[in-house]
Structures are given as C-alpha cells and as structure tokens.
A and B are shown apart, each in its own frame.
Chain A
Amino acid sequence: MLSYLLRKIALLVPTFIGISICAFAFIRLLPGDPILAMAGQYGVTPERYAELREQFGYNLPIWQQYLTYLGQVLTGDFGVSLGTKRPVATEFATLFPATVELTLAAVLIAVVVGIPAGIFAAVKRGSWFDQATMSVALTGYSMPIFWWGLLLIIFFSGYLGWTPVSGRIGIQHFFRPVTGFMLIDSLLVGRPGAFWSAVSHLILPAVVLATIPLAVIARQTRSAMLEVLGEDYVRTARAKGLSPRRVVGLHAFRNALIPVVTTIGLQMGSLMAGAILTETIFSWPGIGKWMIDSIGKRDYVVVQSGLLLIALVVMVVNLVVDVLYAVINPRIRVAS
C-alpha cells in the first residue's frame, strides 16, 4: 500500500510541472497587455511602459520568466496580485474555504440524491421511475449553469421569497471569520439565526453547482448497478434466498461503488469549473469568482498562480480518490 501511495505521489511531480507550464503559457497567449490594462484611460508614456516592463520582469525571455516563476513557486512564493498588491497565496487561503464549503455541499447533494436515484432506476429498470430519472438527469447534465442559477434566483428568491438572492450570510449577522467556513463560524458565534441564515444562503448555489455532478453520478450508478446485477454472484446470492434488499444493498452496491467513487473524484474538475460560474452568479466570495475577476483585469499573477493552486487542489483530491479506490478494491493496488 505504501509503495502504491509513493508511486502515486511521484506521478504528481511531472503533472505539476506540466500544469505550471500551461498556467504560465495560457495567460500569455491571451491578447492584451497587463501594464496597459492596469494603466486606465490615460495610458502610460513609452518610458514609463519600459520601466514597468522591467519592474515586472516582462522584458526577460519567456523561458527565463518561467524559470524565475517556478523557482518562486517552489519556495512557496506565488507572487503578489497586480491589482490588490496582496500575496496571491494569502488571498487564495482567505477565499478557499468558501469554495470548499460550496463544493462539499454540492457533492453532498449530488451523492445523497444521485446514488439512491441511480440504484432505484437500475433496480426498477424500464419503469416510469427509471425513465423519468434518466430524463431529468440528462436535462440536468445539459443545463447551462449561468441560466439555471438566474432562473432559480428569480423563482425562489424573487417570486417565492424563500431563499436569499446572494451572499453567504445575512447582512445583519456580523462576525469575523474564524475558520472561514460560514456554517461552522455561524455556530461558533452562537447567535440565534446566524446558522440558519448561512444554510439558507448555501442552498441555491449548492443546488446549482450539484446539478451536473448529480446527473453524472445518477447515470453512472445506474449503469454500474445494472452491470453488477447481471453478475453470477448476484444470481447466486438471490438463489441462496437472500432478501432483495441484502442482495442490492450489500452485494451489488458495494461492487457498483467502485466506478461511482471514481466518477465522484473525476467530478472535482467540473465542480471547480462550475464553481467559477456559480460563485459569479451568487456573489459567493470564493476562488472561482476571484479567478474570473482577475482574468477580466488581466491580473497575470493571480491568474497563473490561481490556476496552479486550483490544479494542486484537484490533484490532491484525485490522489485521495485513488487511495480510497485502492482501499475499496484491493485488486487495484495489487495490479498496479
């Protein structure tokens, strides 16, 4: 198990370098000049422009800029935002809990709803429930997040008035964050209403972000279950006279779980992409919205280091999924 883990970790190094090159190159491939973008409507004189290019290091050959950057990153220095002048790593650390909270809530919804829906659809294959669930899942999978989010806001917040429009907690609840997780902080502060305010603010964005993963998980669970339900050992279990609940819940589901766990892990990437849109719509102060704002301002430093930090998070999550996978299915670690 240990050697499996070490091998997986060793694989992260070339991935990390590859991503750092991509993050570094992509922002430079975008049209636009960060110095001119920063300068506002008066622009800068050619002398000042040259001076600033030198100050920012943009006058150096591109490979040299990259190596300098990589060196800084390896010592934990992710640079300073061109706009706010704060260290990128500090901003990331401040905003990251909001994204984690939103993503975890979305994963929770996707799993709690998606897996049972997939199991029932498989068990009742061909029934109206199966067809309805899969049609809804297909719709959810194809849902444009931006449109879906606005629609939910207009209906639930605007028309019904059930949920707040945006933000993380009601404006009347003021306390300084301790952990950065609003659900925890609102409990810590111990004021009545704060926790529920935080929960009510979380519902809509979490539902929006959960929509696509939920659809994927439901469909994946269904197909994995169908495959397993046709296996010999399931037939044997049935022949032994086990109750259908035990057959499905214990024998089939455990084996069907393997590809489902992989799917959940693979959803991390799309959750991050979804978080960018969801956070923008719901004014959720997380790293997705931070990235979008920084791209708009051509804040090279935030975009490249932000990309890298997000990629790191996705890599670590995938590592954890791989390890979990090996725990669930011993064949994996033996085979690899």
Chain B
Amino acid sequence: MFRKLTFAAALLAATAISGAAGAKTLVYCSEASPAHFDPGPMTGGNDFDASSHTLYNRLVEFKDGTTDVEPALAESWTVSDDGLEITFKLRPGVKFHTQPWFTPTRDFNADDVIFSFERQWKQDNPYYTYLPNLTWDYFGGMDMASALKAIEKVDDLTVKFVLTAPNAPMLANLAMDFAAILSKEYADKLAAEGKKEQLSTQPVGTGPFQLVDYQLDAVIRYAAFPDYWNGKRKIDDLIFAITTDAGVRAQKLKAGECDIMPYPAPADIAGLQADPNLNVMEQEGLNIGYMAYNVTEKPFDDVNVRKALSMAIDKKAIIDAVYQGAGQVAKNLIPPTMWSYNDAVEDDRYDPEGAKKLLADAGVSDLATDLWAMPVSRPYNPNAQRVAEMIQADWAKIGVKANIVSYEWTEYRERGKQKERKGPFQIGWTGDNGDPDNFFGVLFSCAAIGTQNYSVWCNKEFDDLINKAKAASDPAERTRLYEQAQVVFKAEEPALTLAHSKVFMPMRKRVLNYVMSPLGNHRFVNVDVAD
C-alpha cells in the first residue's frame, strides 16, 4: 500500500509543471481563498482574480490599465441604428483548455456565448440552479434580465444581443467578470454525467492560464495555456499563495516568498517603499466615499442647508488624518480616472463663517441631527467613525450638534435605505465596469430610491441627463451629458462627496509589465518576470 501511494505521489510530481528548467514563475500573495472557479455567481474581487482574469475571457474586455472596452472573444461588433441590437462577430479558432477532466472537440462558438448568459438568466436552464442556494448577483445587480430581450445565434461565429431599450453601458457590462464565457460542450458533458457541480471546481475556459491544482485555502497553481488565442503568455507558472493577513503578505514579499501582493496595510506602505528590492505602484481607486443627506427630511430639504453643512466640513483635514496619504479629496461623484470626469466643477470651499451665515439665512438655528458612521473599514473610507467625529467637531463650530449612530454593517445599509431615515448617512461605492452610469444611475437616479439612492433625491434635470446619456451611443455626446449632470449634482448637493481612496500594489523589481487596473482587478495576462 505504501509503495503504491509513493508511486502515485511520484507520478503526480513528475507530471507537475512547477520547477521545470527555465520556466518563469510568478507568485502572487492573494488576500483570500476563492469561493470556487465559476465567475458567474460570485461577487468578490479575489474570486474574480482567481477565475475570470486567469481562466476565462469575455466577448469584450477592459483594456489593461483603463476602463476602455476592447475586443476579446468578439473581434468586432455593430450597434443597430435604433440602439436595440448589438451584433458580435466572434473570433474564429479560439480553443478551450484541454484538461484531465475534459478534452474539447470543437472551438469556441455562438452556443458558448448563449449558454454563458442563459444559465444566469433563464430559470429552465439546467445550470440556473446547478449549485445549492445559487444567486446570480451581478447578472441581477446590473439589471441584465430587464435589459435583455434575447440572445440569438445568427451563425456559428455571429451572435446578436437584442435589447429592450437602447443601453450604452451594455458593452461595459459585457466586459464585467460575470459575463465570462464558459464551454457549453463541457457543461453538457457534465450534465449528461450528472456532475454539474464540477463546472465550478474543475474549470474549462479560453483564458491565458489553465488550472493545475487548488489546495483548499492554501495554494492555487496555474500553467500558461499553450494554445491561447492571443499567443502563449510569458509567465509559465502562475501561483496564488493565499495569505489573508496584510502584515504577513508584506513580510512574504520582502522575504521573496512572493513577487507581488494586493492591499498592503497602510502602516506597512512606507517600509515597503523603502525596500530597495521592491516597487510600490499606486493609483486612485475607482471609488467614492460620500455622505448622503436625506433631502426629504427637514431641514435637509433646503439646498442651502445642505450647502452650508458641506461648507463647514474641512475635507482636506479629514483626508490627511483618516486616509493617511492614501486618499484624495473628491469634488465629483466619479473619480478623476473615469471618462467624463468634469474638472471644471468647483468644489464647495471650506468656509465655516460662510456656512454659519448661510444657515442663519435659511432660518436654521440649534440644529441637532444624527450622523451615520459605517461600522467597517471600506476601500473608500478606512474609518468612518473617525470621519464622523471630525465632521461632528466641524459642525459644532457652526452650532450644529451631531449625534453619531452606527449599526452592524448589513443592518446599517438596510436602515440607511429607509426613506424616513434621519440624518446624513456615510456610505460609498466601488465602480464595477468603469461606466459613469454605474455611479450616477446606480446611486442617484430616481429609480434607485429605496435601494442605493440614500439621499432619496429625485431631480428631474439630473435624471433626464443621465437617462439620455445611458441611451446615447456616441461617446462624445455621453461625455457632454455626464459633465452637465455633475454640474447639477454639485449645485443641488444631495450628498457631500468626500474622498477617492488610493490603492497600492507592492511588487518585487523582477516583476515586469504589471499594470494597475482602475477597476481594482489583479490581472497577470501581460506580466513577465526578469530572469
């Protein structure tokens, strides 16, 4: 028995790709274990890093380092004049991974595209409930079910998305992780064998890397896919060493046990920057931390009161104290890295005296209010309690008394959504697809009242602008409309825009060509390492 086991283990070792002579290996100290390897139903950034960006492709993808959409599995696309149909020409000759658990007999085609979406959409699709308690959060969150009328196969390499209404952000949605393309042939094989759940643990994609092994909560190993449609990648072996503690990740990076790591602890950044073997990249995050006034609550229904309260807050002091160099003052709802950012908008100036006067003119005196502070640290606001205390002190200077309230995180958001909520509410957002609609529409449209519109703010002028922008297909026109929307937003002040955080990515100097994604993804498709 012992000999048999030894032999089996030796055989496995012999088939291992790791450690082959001259192979290029990149070790990424990831922050958490992936739930599994099917990007469709998942929501976590670490889940997508381990699946969508390594194993799979989408019809269109975000160009490295930008939020621009570029062709991937679709070579090109056309939008009909009425904006109701998007027709994709698919890339010919794209291979799926050959794995011990599956050998594909055909190339990627339109059936794979239709399957990949219908499994998240049609309740009669055998994969709609292929795992227990499955929720297709992103497909639902991006409102795909109401935006899509049908996905039709025109021929093997042409597929048509029929929409219910013109929808310019749809292309960006299709570049998101949940829209990864899976092999229908493989799914059918698993269904026939009664092993559907293996779709999530033994993945087959078209992506730059293929899965070699996953040791639960410890290590994920990938190998470069030799037949990748865009050519074999430079890294031969990609390894995710799962290391949950940020301090330990930093130690591993310094010791050379990994080449690159996400999310360093703020306290470690200076030490990492000082290390001669390391590079620390930084970029503004695609996020916004803000404080929503409930515009249906008195006296916050008066725009002058909202303006006065915003003017009384020293945002710069908050950023310096709370974000410790890892944030910048936000004057708009969207971050400056996003297209259509309106740099001409003027931020509220910090002016306690002016604020006092504005409040007096509005007839408000002895104002006492609740002020909500998130109980958790978020990328867009590392310490909402501290922020609340600083706002409390600033408001005290103009005679406004704030009582800080907080609840457990899910409870906090639920209470915040209630239309009758009392007091300004701290919250934030991290963009998913780089489209401005993913900020303006999701957070401040009239339709979002009761869900993400914590200000209960429904402004016709603003809503018209963003709806027009959503339907328009000309990027220049969309930019113009969103720029205008930002002016309206600032004039109406439904919320105080506080900060965009900065994101750091430390790596060893041997890592080449790494580009930070404004969407917060960690992609290694174009990365190389120095020998």
Contact = CB atoms under 8 A, between A and B. Distances in A.
A281 B245 contact: yes
Contacts of B254: 158
A32 B19 contact: no
A26 to B, nearest CB: 15
B192 to A, nearest CB: 21
B257 interface: yes
Given A85-B131, A94-B216, A189-B13, A153 B248 contact: yes
A165 to B, nearest CB: 5
B257 A171 contact: yes
A285 B411 contact: no
A176 B213 contact: yes
B270 interface: no
Interface string B233-254: 0000001011111011001101
A31 B407 contact: yes
Contacts of A175: 9, 12-13, 16
B16 A174 contact: yes
Interface in B35-76: 35-36, 43
Contact of A289 (B217, B410, B429, B442): B217
Interface in A257-309: 280-283, 285, 289-290, 293, 298
Interface string A81-105: 0111110000100110000000000
Contacts of B142: 42
A55 interface: yes
A196 interface: no
Contact of A40 (B2, B43, B408): B43
A39 B242 CA distance: 24
B137 A39 contact: yes
Interface in A189-236: 189-191
Contacts of A178: 5, 8-9
Interface residues of B, number: 64
Contacts of B219: 167, 171
Interface string B127-161: 00001111101101110000000000000000000
Contacts of B213: 174, 176
Interface string B415-429: 001000000000001
Contacts of B361: none
A167 B244 CA distance: 11
B251 A82 contact: no
B321 interface: no
Contacts of B515: none
A150 B414 CA distance: 37
B255 interface: yes
A37 interface: yes
A237 interface: no
Given A165-B248, A171-B257, A190 B6 contact: yes
Residue from B16, B18, B27, B255 whose CB has the most chain A CB atoms within 10 Å: B255
B478 interface: no
A280 B244 contact: yes
A285 B10 contact: no
B347 interface: no
The B interface is mostly helix, strand or loop, or mixed, namely mixed
A172 interface: yes
Given A43-B413, A94-B216, A172-B19, A188 B248 contact: no
Nearest to A48: B140
B221 A174 contact: yes
Interface string B101-144: 00000000000000000000000000000011111011011100
Given A42-B137, A91-B216, A185-B9, A283 B35 contact: no
A174 B19 contact: yes
Contacts of A282: 248
B9 A31 contact: no
B281 interface: no
Contacts of A33: 410-411, 414
Given A43-B452, A174-B13, A166 B252 contact: yes
Contacts of A158: 251, 254-255
A56 interface: yes
B408 A31 contact: yes
B10 A190 contact: yes
A278 to B, nearest CB: 11
A52 B135 CA distance: 9
Contact of B217 (A42, A95, A150): A95
A214 B247 CA distance: 27
B451 interface: yes
B244 A177 contact: no
A144 B420 CA distance: 45
B129 to A, nearest CB: 10
Given A32-B411, A161-B255, A40 B18 contact: no
A41 interface: yes
B218 A85 contact: no
B132 A189 contact: no
Contacts of A40: 43, 137-138, 141
B32 interface: yes
Nearest to B450: A46
A30 B197 CA distance: 31
B33 interface: yes
B48 to A, nearest CB: 12
A45 B133 CA distance: 16
Which of A32, A91, A176, A178: most chain B CB closer than 10 A?
A176
A82 B255 contact: no
Contacts of B25: 171
Given A174-B18, A178-B9, A283-B242, A42 B141 contact: yes
B304 interface: no
A136 B410 CA distance: 45
B133 A56 contact: yes
Interface string A159-189: 0010011111001101111100000010011
A32 B244 contact: no
Residue picked from B5, B19, B245, most chain A C-beta under 10 Å: B245
A85 B133 contact: yes
A2 to B, nearest CB: 32
A80 interface: yes
Contacts of B408: 31-32
Contact of B241 (A150, A167, A176): A167
Interface string B442-467: 10000000011000000000000000
5 contacts: A161-B255, A165-B248, A165-B257, A174-B13, A175-B16
Given A40-B138, A85-B132, 15 more contacts: A33-B410, A42-B137, A44-B137, A85-B197, A95-B216, A165-B248, A166-B257, A167-B219, A167-B257, A172-B19, A174-B213, A189-B13, A190-B10, A280-B244, A283-B248
